[in-house]
Amino acid sequence: MCGIVGMIGQVGTKEILLKGLEKLEYRGYDSAGIALVGENVRTFKEVGRIQALRDIVPADAEGTIGIGHTRWATHGVPSVPNAHPHQSTTGRFTLVHNGVIENDEQLKATLDVPFLSETDTEVIVQLMEKHFVELGDVEAAFRKTLSDLHGSYAIAMIDSEDQERLYIGKNKSPLLVGLGDGTFNVVASDAMAMLQVTDQYLELHDGEIVILTREAATIKTLDGEVLERAPYTAEIDASDIEKGTYAHYMLKEMDEQPAVIRNIIQHYQNENGDIELTEGVRELVSEADRIYIVACGTSYNAGLVGKDILERIAGIPTEVHVSSEFGYNMPLLSEHPLFVFLSQSGETADSRAVLVEVKKRGYKALTMTNVPGSTLSREANETMLLHAGPEIAVASTKAYTAQIAVLAILAYDIARATGKELPFDLMPELARVATIMDSIMAQKELFEDLAERYLKTTPNTFFIGRGLDASVCLEGALKVKEISYIQAEGYPGGELKHGSIALIEDGTPVIALISQPKTNLNIRGNVKEVVARGANACIISMQGVEHENDDFILPHVEPLLAPLINVLPVQLMAYYAALARGCDVDKPRNLAKSVTVE
């Protein structure tokens, strides 16, 4: 999704901005641009990759103030006119914007200027110019402009006649100020973009602006009241966001899964080997009579697995909801609901909209996220971190397994507190899961072969399973769809005969996941049904429920934790299918890593 970088203060600003934009590439974008203030403002914009932008920025373009942007189209096609930065008619103000302005049409109607783009952003910079003419003061005009906007925005603006200030504003879209060494300061929508120059950041809240100079960052409200805030250290190791020797971030991140599970064990276990959660989290869950998991995409799929674990282990009724639906169609709630927001990034706008509504109604929320200090983390009552390290690939992999492991830890802690009988010892079993994950990842080439055999040329595929396996099938189908563009369905095996089996033809690949003893015979029956109609069935099973001719037999783990293991083959098959089909694995079309618009 859109990304922002900005800098005031240094020779070499251009390169820092371009490098920053490259660090934001993983978020997904379709065009990019930068503006540099030197003797005058020079703006460069291009459709496609940052490299294409680099190619058009002349070597002599420099400036000590600059802003940059990666755009993920919402209003208008990817094109040079629609790319940011946008400039006011006189050229005095230039800005970049993330988010969606909901009243852009109404505002446009009040302005008598030509609009050169289809974006909702251009109206902001034209409005700025109008207010500046009326008020004669840049900061006052900036504050007035932001007060007129309805919707979400993160904005960085430069004034061509002032080389001493950068103007920043935020509402419902992420934006951080990075503090330099006294000779420069920066701004970015994601700390990763500016880790190259600083690890000290100031968190911004909605409805705040910042006047950034080389030496200082002054935070103010839209009424002009000055606010004090201490910086924090971004605890991201810059090497974590490098690909190293891997061909793709997705491959690196799949490979990291055993280490992530070990990391989670270490963070949530005390020296006696007992699960240790904060008192805050324990208090929150102890008050709940029902859990509502709210999430999107892969996080939603992890939530489905979490529901089964929470209900079976902790005995607490749990519902799982897609954020974009839940926000507008809230079901009847129990008397003491606890909302659990699952989000790798902690910035997903659909989930955040629900959190705002939940808080308005006076309910409590727990966020499980991979990003400390993210919006969903800050705004919830409590946070449980995933400790998975930065996830860069658009296709989420290690966050999925991390979320399931952390949900299992929560379930076990609730069960312990309420005196429930525990079916197995969780932490040692998670440690075994990590070892088994290692062994699966060491056999990658087998899944490359399966992807070649079943997915390389097919236009469509089904993933089928029962119970927990059916939840993993949804994740398998999502992975295949998003990176290899194959039409894929994840289905409970028994449901196929109620309609979708009509799609099975000669050679349709059907990938069956079989790990649950209770439904082993049922799913095998479902496989026979599709094979009888011509399907090309690939069976991935687990020791204990295996048949001799299955395509791959996974080592046995406790059935409740099987999703942690059988998701690996489907992640790997999706990855190798995308490679075989010539797709751009880490930057799939139309997608963004962090979806910060509703």
593 an active-site residue?
yes
> Closest CB to ligand M6R belongs to which residue?
297
The DSSP-derived string for 199-249 is: SEEEE--TTEEEEE-SS-EEEEETT--EE----EE----GGGGS-TT-S-H
Angle, CA 172 vertex, CA 169 and CA 175 arms, to 5°: 50
CA atoms within a 13 Å half-sphere pointing along the CA-CB vector of 37: 26
CB 570 within 8 A of CB 472: yes
Would you tell me which residues interact with ligand M6R (CB under 6 A)?
296-299, 343-345, 348, 351, 394-396, 478, 482, 594-595
How far is residue 298's CA from residue 323's CA, in Å, rounded to a whole number?
A: 12
Tokens of 424: 């197995």
Q: Give the distance from CA 139 to its chain's centroid.
A: 33
| 487 sits in which H/E element | strand 487-492
Chain position carrying tokens 């079916």:
423
Please tell me whether residue 162 adopts helix, strand or coil conformation.
strand
Quote the DSSP letter at residue 193.
Answer: G
CB-based burial label for 250 (10 Å; 0-12, 13-18, 19+)? buried
Q: In whole angstroms, what is the distance from residue 347 CA to residue 380 CA?
A: 12
Tell whether omega for the bond before 258 is within 30 degrees of 0, i.e. cis: no
Q: Which residues pair with 461 in a beta bridge?
A: 488
Cα 534 to Cα 144: distance, rounded to the nearest angstrom: 65
Closest CA to 464 of 505, 515, 502: 515
Determine which one of 23, 252, 307, 593 is catalytic: 593
- By DSSP bridging, strand 232-233 and strand 290-295 are unpaired
**Integer Cα distance of 411 and 307 in angstroms:** 9
- Name the residue nearer to ligand M6R (CB basis): 203 or 482: 482
Three-class SS of residue 65? Answer: strand
Q: Which residue has the tokens 């100020």?
A: 177
Burial class (CB in 10 A: 0-12, 13-18, 19+), 43: middle
Q: How far is the CB of 512 from ligand M6R (least distance, A)?
A: 22
Min dist CB 331 to ligand M6R, Å, is 21
> DSSP string covering 448-467, please?
HHHHHHHTSS-SEEEEEEST
Check residue 373 and report its DSSP letter: T
- Pair of tokens at residue 74: 């919402």
DSSP string, 407-452: HHHHHHHHHHHTTPPPSS-HHHHHHHHHHHHHHHHTTHHHHHHHHH
- Shortest separation between residue 3's beta carbon and ligand M6R, angstroms: 15
Give bridge partners of residue 463 from the DSSP assignment. 490, 511
Least CB distance from residue 234 to ligand M6R, whole Å? 18
Q: Which is nearer to ligand M6R, 396 or 516 (CB)?
A: 396
Given the residues 2, 473, 538, 583, select the one marked as catalytic. 2
What whole-number distance in Å separates Cα of residue 514 and Cα of residue 538? 11
Is 364 among the catalytic positions? no
Q: How many H-runs (helices) and E-runs (strands) does the chain carry?
A: 18, 25
Q: Do β-strands 31-37 and 552-554 pair in parallel, antiparallel, or remain unpaired?
A: unpaired
Q: Within its chain, how far is the Cα of 70 from the centroid?
A: 16
Active site residues: 2, 593
